Amino acid sequence: MIENNTIFLIPLMPLVGFLINGLLGKGLRRSTIGMVACAMPVISFAVALSLFIKFSQFGLECDLTFRQIMIPWIGVGSIGVPFGFAVDHLTIAMTLMITGVGSLIHIYATGYMSHDRSPERFFAYMNLFMFSMLVLVLADNILLMFVGWEGVGLCSYLLIGYWYEDILNAKAGKKAFVTNRVGDFGFLLGILLIFALMTGNGTPSLSFAKINEVIPKFAPVTYEVPVIGGSIGAVTLICLLLFVGAAGKSAQIPLYVWLPDAMARPTPVSALIHAATMVTSGVYMIARLAPVFMASPAALSVVATIGAVTALFAATIAVTQNDIKKVLAYSTISQLGYMFLAMGVAAFGAGIFHLITHAFFKACLFLCAGSVMHAMAGELDMQKMGGLRKWMPITFWTMLVSTMAISGWPLFAGFFSKDEILWKTLEKGMTSQQGTLFYVLYGIGLLAAVFTAFYMFRLVVLTFLGKPRMSEETQKHLHESPSSMTIPLMILAFLAAVGGFMWLPGVIGHGKFAWFHDFLAIREPAAHGAHDMAGAEWTSLALSVALALGASGLSYLVYTRGRSAVEKLAKTVYLTRAMYRFSLNKYWVDEIYEAFVIKPIYYGSIALWLFVDVVIIDGLVNLAGILVKWGSTIFRNLQTGFIGSYAVTVLVGVLVVLWYLILQVLK
């Protein structure tokens, strides 16, 4: 552990940008607002790069960590939680990706939002989002991570509903906020259980180093759960609760529903949140707590299963969507599923590797979609595009490169990272006692890869190739985007093309070229008989390449030559018609949630309001008032102000007393 006094500058710079534009932005020029917003993440990237250089000077030491404690934060008795940051190999990789890709997106946004009415508000939110994400990643303890975790949730709500005048945007922001609160509740329960075990063990600390050291020792401890009629391990329960939070933030089944609707936000926000920041926070959290999750094979199996199913489920939906951003949104959900599949098979390095490469090509894809929208006056329907390659060559080529990367074409970034996940899943099946499960997950992963290549080339063909399907008036205004937008596209496309060379497959040079894996230095279970599996890895590699190229070629042929035949097939044959309807309508998941979750809660809350609040609470309060009013009416009538009334009252009182005395004498 080495003290470093510059770490705080990384999150501080975006916070300064937020304060400047948020407080003073109304009086600044548009160019100044953009300059301030872009300069701050660039400075953060420079500081992070300087720390990376220091890491390289020390070599690949797995226990090297820079730490900076800012102030004592929470102190109760023997419990002390500082406000501090820690940077190790995993953290610096994430920080470089967040600040680097985030800076490019900010630069792109200066062109994309050039006509927005309140750029100071937009860029203030963007900088605040960067600050929150950096706090989440750099946090020295899980409680400070939770602060950043909630911060990105808040900023996501603000940015999704940025154009709040449109009711759909406002609803999308609310949906994202509420759905994430469901996941965050599970995450918070997991933190509380960690705290209970840590303090019970005599280690009142919530630092990641201590958690990873102490919590795995509680693997033998179990809790009785009457609901399931059995017991569950303490570590397993912690992991599952934390995974609920990860499923909310990283859009996994069943909490993925907020992400497609979040396309209401401006496109630079989609690129920032869906590529480099918020949606990857769940994956990062599991990697940060890798020793804890490895202590619970059952929890890892759940993570892997949910990840694989989500990858395939979202990919099947993306195949039929016509909204260009919706396709990319479901693509993001699918790729996040791959990352969780990697985490579930304890291939934490491969998961983070795919997280990094995904940031490159998915940010580029979203920004390319924004470039298309910029030229098409906000049009999103791919059926109304076509032939844009002629007018937008830079956008076309950068999107094509990123599409080949996400589709798994050889030598592009996604090929290396996705293949590593698939191979690790197959290897797990060959070495684990649960071999059947992981063989099935491997097959699901391959099938999801086929769908990915198909729908991504469908997007490219419908958008850029073929005959133009837009109006002639729209064609007159088509143009390439300005350099402030195209330069970030070219940089991201370059990274999507070459980023995979950070980690070559293990069969190439016997793993000597897996530089990124060695740099991350995440402890993973050793593979047994790895040298005997070279043939299996080559086979997996060849199979994934063949499927990616085959699906890409099929998509190209279908949507350039056989589109009418496919449409006829989808509408006439019962099975294909049913599959098409299910996919096009997104399996009616939102409608199911509306019918069985949202409406029961809504009408149930109305019933509770009417019965508990109106009848019981208001009824008791009103009853008290009625009793007081009734009693006061009786006593008020006794105070009439007439002497005759008082005399009658006294006479009645005397007669009552005499009657009582007579009765006593007669007894």
Q: How far is CA 367 from the centre of its chain?
A: 19
Which residues have CB under 8 Å from 263's CB, separation 6+? 172, 270, 323, 325, 326, 329
pLDDT single digits (tens) 68-92 = 998 888 887 777 888 999 999 899 9
One-letter-per-residue 3-state SS of 428-460? HHHHCCCHHHHHHHHHHHHHHHHHHHHHHHHHH
Residue 54 reports pLDDT greater than 80: yes
Residue 509 reports pLDDT greater than 70: no
pLDDT single digits (tens) 613-639 = 989 999 999 999 999 988 888 777 777
pLDDT single digits (tens) 334-351 = 999 999 999 999 999 999
- Whether this prediction's pTM lies above 0.85 is answered by yes
Across 266-271, average pLDDT: 87
Q: In whole angstroms, what is the distance from residue 246 CA to residue 231 CA? A: 24
Contact call for residues 334 and 311 (beta carbons, < 8 A): yes
Which ranges in 59-118 belong to alpha helices (H)?
89-112
Residue 267 binned pLDDT confidence (cut-offs 50, 70, 90) = confident
Stronger pLDDT, 565 or 232, i.e. the higher one: 232
Q: How does DSSP assign 501-529, residue by residue?
A: GGS--TTTGGGTT-HHHHHH----PPPTT
How buried is 465 (Cβ within 10 angstroms: 0-12 exposed, 13-18 middle, 19+ buried)? middle
Angle made by CA atoms 187, 191, 193, in degrees to the nearest 5: 115
* pLDDT reported for residue 313: 96
Instruction: Show the tokens assigned to 90.
Output: 């995993």
Encoded amino acid at 381, one letter? D
Least confident of 15-24, 495-504, 642-651: 642-651
The strand pair at 222-225 and 79-87 is best described as unpaired
pLDDT single digits (tens) 281-319 = 999 999 999 999 999 999 999 999 999 999 999 999 999
Q: In whole angstroms, what is the distance from residue 559 CA to residue 469 CA? A: 14
Residue 118 reports pLDDT greater than 70: yes
Spatial CA neighbour of 519 closest among 52, 98, 184, 132: 52
Q: In whole angstroms, what is the distance from residue 455 CA to residue 449 CA? A: 10
* pLDDT reported for residue 526: 63
So where are the chain's domains?
1-140, 141-584, 588-666
Least confident of 44-58, 388-402, 482-496: 44-58
Element (H, E) at 666: helix 643-666
Residue with tokens 């070459």: 498
Contact call for residues 413 and 488 (beta carbons, < 8 A): no
Spatial CA neighbour of 309 closest among 587, 49, 45, 570: 587
Contact call for residues 492 and 398 (beta carbons, < 8 A): yes
Least confident of 65-79, 387-401, 630-644: 630-644
Residue 561 binned pLDDT confidence (cut-offs 50, 70, 90) = confident
* pLDDT reported for residue 228: 66
Which residues have CB under 8 Å from 396's CB, separation 6+? 388, 389, 460, 464
Q: How far is CA 304 from CA 219, 352, 401, 488, in A?
A: 20, 15, 29, 34
Instruction: Show the tokens assigned to 84.
Output: 């501090």
Residue 538 reports pLDDT greater than 90: no
* pLDDT reported for residue 59: 65
Torsion of CA 95, 15, 6, 43, to 10 degrees: 70
Residue 569 binned pLDDT confidence (cut-offs 50, 70, 90) = low
pLDDT mean across residues, the chain:
89
Least confident of 163-172, 276-285, 543-552: 163-172
* pLDDT reported for residue 511: 60
* pLDDT reported for residue 60: 57
Phi and psi torsions of 296, nearest 5° = -130, 90
Residue 510 reports pLDDT greater than 70: no
Residue 574 reports pLDDT greater than 70: no
Residue 13 binned pLDDT confidence (cut-offs 50, 70, 90) = very high
Q: In whole angstroms, what is the distance from residue 273 CA to residue 163 CA? A: 17
Stronger pLDDT, 60 or 163, i.e. the higher one: 163
Residue with tokens 């499960």: 437
Residue 508 reports pLDDT greater than 80: no
Q: In whole angstroms, what is the distance from residue 340 CA to residue 421 CA? A: 10
The neighbouring-strand residues paired with 82 are 72
Which residues have CB under 8 Å from 558's CB, separation 6+? 458, 566
Phi and psi torsions of 478, nearest 5° = -70, 140
Phi and psi torsions of 230, nearest 5° = -165, -160
Element (H, E) at 302: helix 297-318
Q: How far is CA 649 from the centre of its chain?
A: 79
